Amino acid sequence: MGYFFFSHNGKIDNNATGDIACDSYHKYHEDIKLMKDLKVTHYRFSISWPRILPDGTTKTINKLGIQYYNNLIDGLLEAGITPMVTLYHWDLPQALQDKYKGWLSDSMQDLFGEYVRVCFREFGDRVKFWITINEPRVVATQGYGEAIMAPGLKGPGTFMYQAAHNLIKAHARAYHIYDEEFRPLQKGKIGITLNFDWQEPRNKNNPDDLKASEIGNQFWLGQYANPVYVNGDYPEVMKVKIGNKSKHLNYSSSRLPAFSDSEKRYIKGTSDFFDINSIKDPSWLGSGSSWLKVTPWGLRKALNWIRNHYGDVPVYITENGVSDKNGTLLDDHRIYFFKNYINNVLKAIQLDDVNVKGYTAWSLMDNFEWSRGYTERYGLHYVNFSDPSRPRTPKASANFYRNIIINNGFVNQDNHPPFEPVRHTRDPNNLPMLDDFYYGTFPDDFAWSSATAAYQVEGAWNLDGKGPSIWDTHSHNGKIDNNATGDIACDSYHKYHEDIKLMKDMKMTHYRFSISWPRILPDGTAQSFNRMGVDYYNNLINSLLAANITPMVTLYHWDLPQTLQDKYRGWANETETVSDLFAEYARICFREFGNRVKFWITLNEPRVVATQGYGDGHMAPGIVGQIGITLNFDWHEPKNIEDPNDLVASEIGNQFWLGQYANPVYVNGDYPDIMKYKIGNKSLHLNYSRSRLPEFTDHEKNFIKGTSDFFGLNFYTSNVVTLKSTPSYKVDYNEDPDITSTKDPTWIGSGSPWLKVTPWGLRKALNWIRNHYGDVPVYITENGVSDRNGSLQDNHRIYYYKHYINNVLKAIKVDGVKVLGYTAWSLMDNFEWMSGYTQRYGLHYVDFSNPNRTRTPKASAHFMKDLIVHNGFFLNLNYPQNNHH
């Protein structure tokens, strides 16, 4: 079911919904002002599939939905903010869920293709940064595995792999549609956003823990990154572990579907950049979300891991942020989070030579945090959800983030470390200056962005022809914390001009958002083309460009048209129907928007959703841009870096996590060998007739390989990993890597239980990506931290951004990673999926009790603005130093 139904069925904390959310549909102008005040250069937002295509298909094109995004984009551009657009951020049209069972259906790649084609067509003339899918891992594991997010299907060792398989192919389809039909004229980029929790080895001197870290990273990130960035196939450790376990359980084939050789070729290389979202050991600093522990070093480690595994791919951190539950305006915890996470990004760039191109703070404002509803707040700006006008108020972290943007980093005017960028592989577990704060500036053309996703902020769930997404259904079925829904969310459908103003105020250069497939194609197919939905995105793109903000557009950020889920079982469909439909959708997006959008991300975090490929297309002459995929990546930190087994665990974890998606795109069109080996052996052991990991055909491998112009990286946190003493043959994705993953109790937490603050993990991840996928341009397409109180004094978020972004700077300046941009997740508090509005990631507080969904800059928004204005970190800047949250 989609998120509308999911939230309306009482499955969100406090029965919250995204019906209004931040009311950004109406208040996008306010949001843009917040961004301008923050000095952000980019704004990452998502397009709501059902807003563009209400039933998920081009038969129901919603002109009003398109007009909303046109207004938002135009407002961003007018404010000098570059839009970064996510095409799918979880809000699948409900019609596609009902008709195809969402991402369980192979038909979804076709429906997604239709939807993205509408987005490219409507917005691509102004949007040059596209993200196909946001965090496919979340979609797949939590929507189709653990049943805690829309559509709420339970199949942890079966459905989730099929959904992931289809998401990867849908991503590839969108990439090829853009690359062949729209890029020559639109000249944009496209990639996928993957979430990545760095898997930290429990004991770095224990080989088993290091092995566990590698296994954890491969299962977490490699599952999606390996197909896209390596060889079009899953990591070998995944294939072997899952295959063996499947065999042990007498499955006829591995629970991990296999890509054919042709699929591997089709998937490999289908991203112009590496997008990671990086948002548990109980001693880590917490947040407003039980999963989010503050581990800034984990971001650096994750970035290095990505570089090491996927080469020098451009990495965009497309989400990074921290939550709280009180919404305080004095969010020192958020300042701490951003300071340390961003500093680790800086380390990854300057010390580790990771090619991180941008950082996106999650989120611009408090919003509907999926299943947590409005109980967790991630925003740089506080949103008063009890006020119908949804006023936004900057938190302290907004000012901190602003300062980082102004300075373009952390600048010490008197003392610069004597490091030159290196041009060789760095060991993520042996990085220089890992614990030191790095003062310096980011490259002059560094992309500063904040991000949102269509379902999380747009609201207007059933207005102007938009079709229902799987998240509409999921939330309407009461599966979100407090029964929250995204029906209104931040109301950015109406308030995108406010959102663009937020970005302009923050001095952001880019904005990453997603296009809602069901808003463009209400039923997920081109036959349901919704002109109003296209108009919305045209307005958004035009407004962004008018604000001098570059749009970075994600084609799929989880909001699959419900029709495709119902008809084809979504991404789990065993045929390629959904992938073909995704191709149609992507083609429409390229056609409609590609003349302005030059940065495309096919899928956001397919590891969360599970990815799919794109179809062949006829190029539109003269449309030139970049297209890639955004992969979420939790860095898998070896428990003991001196223990070879722990190092192996780290590699396996990274391959299963990131390599599954990056390897096909950036390496060889196929999954990592470790995935194929492990899943294949386990499948054989369980008497499966074939591996549970689907195979790509040679044709698919050739089609997938190289289908990304950059590496979109969503990074939030890390995990400590070690090898299990004996393999598990349980049919479960989490068991297939045969690693134990925990959180270090010393890591700082957040408003989300899974998010521990590990800024260094981001730098490690960037280096790992460069090491594995080459010198690919990396955009950090999500990075942020949650809280649960929505405090405007969000020092924890400032801390998070400061240290994570500093690790990005290290990756650039010390490590030589080609990081081209950073996206803070999120511009504002919004609907945080299963958490509804209980967790807040925004740089701006959104008052969800106010019908106007007022946005208020948090302290972190001011911090981010200063950071952007200075384009780095200077020793004499007064960044909040609070670090005890």
Question: Looking at the annotation, which residues are catalytic?
Answer: 319, 782
Q: What is the DSSP letter of 501?
A: H
d(CA 377, CA 428): 31
Residue spans of beta strands (DSSP E) within 42-158: 42-46, 61-62, 82-91, 124-127, 129-133
The phi and psi torsions of 278 (rounded to 5 degrees) equal -130, 85
Fill in the DSSP letter of residue 20. Answer: S
- Reported in sequence order, the residue ranges of 395-446 that DSSP labels E, i.e. its strands, are 409-411, 440-441
The H or E element containing residue 854 is: strand 853-856
Distance separating alpha carbons of residues 603 and 617, to the nearest angstrom = 18
And the tokens for 814? Answer: 């010390």
Burial of 444 (0-12, 13-18, 19+ CB in 10 A): exposed
Under a CB-based contact definition with an 8 Å cutoff, are residues 850 and 388 in contact? yes
Going by the DSSP 8-state scheme, the letter that residue 837 receives in this structure is T
> How far is C-alpha 141 from the chain's CA centre?
14
Amino acid in position 274 = F
DSSP state of 41: S
Instruction: Name which of 348, 438, 263 is nearest 713 in CA terms.
Output: 348
Measured between alpha carbons, how far is residue 253 from residues 163, 553, 676, 691, 718 in Å? 17, 37, 12, 4, 32
- As given in the structure block, the two tokens for residue 606 are 């397919």
SS (HEC) of 507-569: CCCEEEEECEHHHHCCCCECCECEHHHHHHHHHHHHHHHHECCEEEEECCEEECEHHHHHHHE
Longest dimension (CA), the chain: 65
- Helices 673-685 and 222-229, interaxial angle, to 10°? 120
Are β-strands 739-742 and 717-723 bridged in parallel, bridged antiparallel, or unpaired? antiparallel
User: Smallest Cα–Cα separation from 43: which of 448, 443, 546, 377?
Assistant: 448
* CA–CA distances in Å: residue 569 to residues 87, 298, 517, 564, 603: 19, 35, 16, 7, 18
Give the burial string for 556-571 (b: 16+ CB within 10 Å, else e): bbbbbbbbbbbbbbbb
Burial (CB < 10 A; 0-12, 13-18, 19+), residue 849, is: middle
Cβ-based neighbours of 34, under 8 Å, separated by 6 or more: 364, 365, 380, 381, 392, 394, 398, 498, 499, 501, 502, 503, 505, 506, 827, 828, 843, 844, 855, 857, 861
